[in-house]
Chain A
Amino acid sequence: MADLGEELLQAVATARDQGQPLSIAGTGSKSFLTRPETAVRDSRLLSTVEHTGVVDYRPDELVVTVRTGTLLRELAQTLAREGQMLGFEPPEFRGLGTVGGAVASGLAGPGRPARGSVRDAVLGVQMINGLGERLVFGGQVMKNVAGFDVSRLQAGAYGMLGLLLEVSLKVLPRPQAELTLRLEKSATDAHAEMRRWARLPHPISAAAWLEEGLWVRLSGAEAAVNQTAAALGGEHQTDNDFWSGLKDHGLPLFRRDGLCCRHLPPASAPSAEDELIEWLGARRWSTSAPGAVGYQPFAAGFARHRCRDGGGDGKIADYQARLKAAFDPDSLFNPELTDADVPA
């Protein structure tokens, strides 16, 4: 537990003076997400791993402020002691993921449709921009409309706008009761069932289809969970392994070559290639997608935008680039994410 804010600020200032690009990294648990094949322009590693610790935690206020090098695993333990958790269920990737990486990547887990995305939970940030200035945006309160929402903008920005030093996150109470059911279903039937659930006020906190099984997690008041479980049927599961395997990409599917993920309007009909359907239909995984536009591995930054099918006239990328320049005019941060020449 240490505050390396001053050292990091100094490191950015020095790099700026030297025109030395910086690659921001925590433990590197997500390095496989960001195109390792891309040549990195002589950048120097700027590590947050020792910038750790919970700065402020107010369980009654449902908010925690954390230094970005803190391991998600450790934060989860701190929150669990107060009966709380991060609603967006970030993947911890072998227990190595950091809070900064979770926010910077914007990756959410199984609870995302019911409990919101990463940026939905971001209330404030302290960051260093490309001018070497330490800035604070947002705060520790749920409602705050003072100034542009720069803190939520950091979720999924992969550090392109600056180095995150601290983030304030909304936390949620752990549910009183939770249970998991597995129903035997084809992809089509499972998808139809998920879409039916989306229209009903069930206490469903996650649902996913994999290998002819529709998994559903019920969370909430005990009576409500039991009542819904009785109505849905299926077989009760005694442990939580499926959900942790899904969240942390520990299931065997995630070790297969060529695995791709795509985001879709959730009601889109399942295709024969879908091997895993989650988020009530909004996120699909496949290892055999025929080079369709939109099927891409995780890839950060502007590249991610170019992978998108349909919509827009390409202007968004221009504004993204201008936004990047507004925070980091000399392209100091994470050049490997923005220099990549990715085919559209």
Chain B
Amino acid sequence: MSEAPEQNPQPPPAAVTDAAKKQALARLRRALPRESLLTRPEQLKPYESDGLTALREMPWVVVLPETEDALRAVLEICREHGIPVVPRGAGTGLSGGARPSGDGVLLGLSKMNRILEVDLDNCAARVQPGVRNLAISEAVAEHGLYYAPDPSSQIACSIGGNVAENSGGVHCLKYGLTVNNVLGLKVLTLAGDELLIGGPGGDPESLDLLALFCGSEGLLGVVTEVWVRLLPVPPERRVLLAAFPTVEGAAGSVAAIIGRGLIPAGLEMMDTPAIQAAEAFVHAGYPANAGAILLCELDGVPAEVDADAEMVSRVFAEFGADEVQVATSTEEQARLWLGRKAAFPAVGRLAPDYYCMDGTIPRASLAEVLTRIGGLSERYGLAVANVFHAGDGNLHPLILYDANAPGELERAERFGADILALCVAAGGTVTGEHGVGVEKLDPMCGQFSAAELEQFARLKAAFDPDGLMNPGKAIPTLSRCSEIGGMHVHGGRLPFPNLERF
């Protein structure tokens, strides 16, 4: 079959001229109230990065629309003058998805932060994108309902950002990711088309745009409203902590619990360096000498939780747990979770900087992947602590380094890239929940073939033919992949010996 000469389905947008910026700025000033348009360096500075602070760039301007009309005007101006648009929620993202473009508008949605409607009858709420994740649960708590996905940044992160990243959290093993808990969206495309997708009633009528927009990292359009699903708060919760002499015992327990038919609300693992760091930081009462600990949260009606707790305790004993703590009161549960929730800052005390990775692997490969990460740690001369959403295979190795020591940042980055390649070779993925953003563009070249990347690019172009929505994020160009010598090792299809090349 003859093929057209290879071409990028969506070339990068042309450079923005000063004349275009000048005209656009004048129009933005007319379209927006003074407090919604930030242009001075000291105003722009707080927006120079998202939660991935290593990647910074000053935006050209920041706009903070309060209304859909203002938002629509901004998109129209950007489209007409060829100016890139970088949407941003609360800026807590960890992959640089909201890193500004020096030529572009940083579109902050934090002022669109109203809960528009709580529909108790349908167990749903309609909210604006800037509403904080936790604020939804707080608003409906009095009715015995809550919004299930709980990313660790839930105090600060916004629902719009959650949709863009398809955020998870410690309870997504049982309750699913953002995509499984959102019922509908209102989206504005760069062309100014308003798309009403789904809602509180039933399944989609045609192509499932709702699923497509979840995790699309702001490349397709701007989410202006979100319908979320609300669930009844479980009447009973219990948290069990088990300490194991080795990672293998903990990993075996995870497989056994799930293999025997129980899906806990949460199932988290920490290795020795992470345990010791957490214990030194918050004194949660973790056994500091353990090789690994598991935290298992069970919820449901009391009879169910009793039966499940008995089963889990049996598994822990079978797999050689040295110690099991059971927390029934809210206070004790909070104490057991404290160490896990403080793990990142705790590890942050061990070294001037740390680099948080986010690969997912099949759980069966856990012990092997951790052993190899240990080997890499020695080779690169950098310590690593592992925190793991064990139930769903999402691994967060935290690489410790000192950005002020010459060469350490580069070493940490190479170490991280090797970890992600390990994840792909084990049949996993380069990002479980933090997104690709800018950070994982190169590892994407290893996970996807040229044809798959081109398919992604054509998909983006279907919604954003001008290529101005968050350009340069999430999907690497083919030329980028060929520059880094794109090593495509697809979904574990290559046999394990290939791991040796790292």
Contact = CB atoms under 8 A, between A and B. Distances in A.
A91 interface: no
Contacts of B120: 199
Interface centre among A221, A266, A327 (most CB of B within 10 A): A221
Interface in B230-251: 232-235
B261 A319 contact: no
A307 B205 CA distance: 8
B263 A173 contact: yes
A147 B474 contact: yes
Interface residues of A, number: 93
B360 A322 contact: no
A195 B301 contact: no
A75 interface: no
A155 B180 CA distance: 14
A149 B121 contact: no
Contact of A133 (B389, B429, B455): B455
Interface stretch (A21-29, A114-122, A178-186): A114-122
A156 B204 contact: yes
A199 B82 CA distance: 48
Nearest to A116: B180
Given A149-B212, A283-B202, A323 B207 contact: yes
Given A146-B430, A322-B462, A227 B206 contact: no
Contacts of A77: none
Interface centre among A119, A135, A146, A222 (most CB of B within 10 A): A146
A224 to B, nearest CB: 4
Interface residues of B, number: 100
Interface string B181-221: 00000000100011111011111111111011011100100
A185 to B, nearest CB: 19
A127 to B, nearest CB: 10
A223 interface: yes
Nearest to A124: B491
Nearest to B444: A146
Interface in B425-457: 427-436, 440, 444, 447-449, 451-452, 455-456
B267 to A, nearest CB: 12
A234 B215 CA distance: 44
A145 B434 contact: yes
Interface string A194-217: 010011111100000000000000
Contacts of B427: 139-141
Nearest to A220: B304
A107 to B, nearest CB: 9
A32 interface: no
Contacts of B364: 58, 60-61
A153 B208 contact: yes
B172 A61 contact: no
B28 to A, nearest CB: 25
Contacts of B202: 262-265, 279, 282-283
A341 interface: no
B32 to A, nearest CB: 25
B455 A223 contact: no
B379 to A, nearest CB: 26
Interface string B356-392: 0000111110000000000000000000000001001
Contacts, number: 278
Contacts of B360: 139, 141-144
A83 B262 CA distance: 11
Contact of A60 (B123, B166, B219, B258): B258
A263 B195 CA distance: 19
A331 to B, nearest CB: 15
B196 A143 contact: no
B463 interface: yes
Contacts of A116: 176, 180
Contacts of A233: none
Given A116-B180, A149-B166, A203-B301, A155 B201 contact: no
A304 B444 contact: no
B144 interface: yes
A134 B448 CA distance: 12
A299 to B, nearest CB: 9
B122 interface: yes
B11 interface: no
A220 B300 contact: yes
Contacts of B123: 198-199, 266
Contacts of A332: none
A312 B389 contact: no
A147 B199 contact: no
Nearest to A134: B451
A152 B211 contact: yes
Given A147-B444, A156-B207, A132 B1 contact: yes
A268 B215 CA distance: 31
Given A149-B215, A264-B201, A327-B455, A312 B196 contact: yes
A123 to B, nearest CB: 10
Interface in A213-257: 220-224, 226-228
5 closest residue pairs by CB, A with B: A263-B202, A173-B261, A267-B121, A223-B303, A224-B304
14 contacts: A141-B427, A142-B392, A143-B177, A143-B389, A147-B448, A148-B215, A149-B166, A149-B211, A156-B204, A199-B120, A267-B121, A302-B206, A307-B205, A326-B459
Interface of B: 1, 119-124, 143-145, 165-166, 168, 172-173, 176-177, 179-180, 189, 193-197, 199-209, 211-212, 214-216, 219, 232-235, 255-256, 258-263, 300-301, 303-304, 306-308, 360-364, 389, 392-394, 427-436, 440, 444, 447-449, 451-452, 455-456, 458-463, 474-475, 490-492
